[in-house]
Amino acid sequence: MSPVDHNQRASFDALLRPHLDRLYRFAYRLAGSKPEAEDLFQDVLLKAFARLDDLLEVGEPGSWLCRVMYNHFIDNRRRFARARLVSVEESQLPGQSVDSLPGDLDPVRDAERLENIMRLEQALAVLSDEHRLVVLLHDTEGYKLEEIHQITGDPLGTIKSRLHRARARLREILGADGTNARP
């Protein structure tokens, strides 16, 4: 390895490492399954290294990486759409869905949270891809509307409207089955 190569690799490593957790979570929210998320994650790191010159110049590498990942996901949607089908199949298998929660030591509270999350998972599966993604990014992952706009390139008004509709649909579904209506 030449000194130049070594420096490039060291720069790449230093630049990306602080963003890897967030990027991995973003990949999972897009792809919906671990194997596909990891494929997507690896594809994007390869792309990022190929564009190291660009990456070194951007002000917010985290957002830039998410944008590259989002575009790659959209361009290869057919390939990654496979994951949604698999995850639906897998979710029907015993032991493949959420079966435990970190944190709470109160078994009653724990059981209630678990039940809510499982119902929420089913409700999220009913949403369109666009609605599910925006509600997961905003309400679950804590992205700001402006950040989602920067990543997806969709107009801010469209994102806000999707979020509003997604939540309304979740309320409707969860309200209908009594989950969210429980005092």
Partner 1 sequence: MTCTQLTEKLDDYVDDLMDQAASATLAAHIEGCDDCQHVLASEHRLRESLTDYGESTMPQPDAAFFDRTLAKATRSGTRRQRNRWVMTGVGGTIAAGLALWMLGGMFLKTPDIAESGIPAIAMTLEEPRTLNLVFSSASALANATMTVVLPQGVEVEGFAGQREITWMTSLTEGKNVLPLTLIATSPHGGELMATLRHEGDDRTFRVRVTVI
Which residues contact partner 1 by CB under 8 A?
8-9, 12-13, 16-17, 20, 24-25, 28, 34, 37-38, 41-43, 45-54, 98, 101-102, 113-114, 116-117, 120-121, 124, 135-136, 139-141, 163-164, 167, 170-171, 174-175, 180-183
Of 20 and 85, CB closest to partner 1: 20
Rounded Cα gap, residues 131 and 136, in angstroms: 9
Tokens of 53: 């010159």
Please report how close the Cβ of residue 113 comes to partner 1 at its closest, in angstroms: 6
Shortest reach from residue 127's CB to partner 1, in Å: 12
Report, in Å, the least distance between residue 9 CB and partner 1.
4
Helix/strand/coil for 146: helix
Q: Rounded to whole angstroms, what are the CA distances from 69 to 91, 119, 150, 171, 176? A: 25, 29, 12, 30, 36
With tokens 């759409």, the residue in question is 81
CB of 117 to partner 1, least distance (A): 5
Q: Over the Cα atoms of the chain, what is R_g?
A: 19
Q: What tokens does 40 get?
A: 């997507």
* Secondary structure (3-state) at 20: helix
To the nearest whole angstrom, how small is the minimum distance from the Cβ of residue 50 to partner 1? 4
Q: Which is nearer to partner 1, 14 or 59 (CB)?
A: 14
Cβ distance to partner 1 smaller for residue 37 or 133: 37
Q: Which is nearer to partner 1, 28 or 73 (CB)?
A: 28
Q: Tokens standing for 101?
A: 């929660």
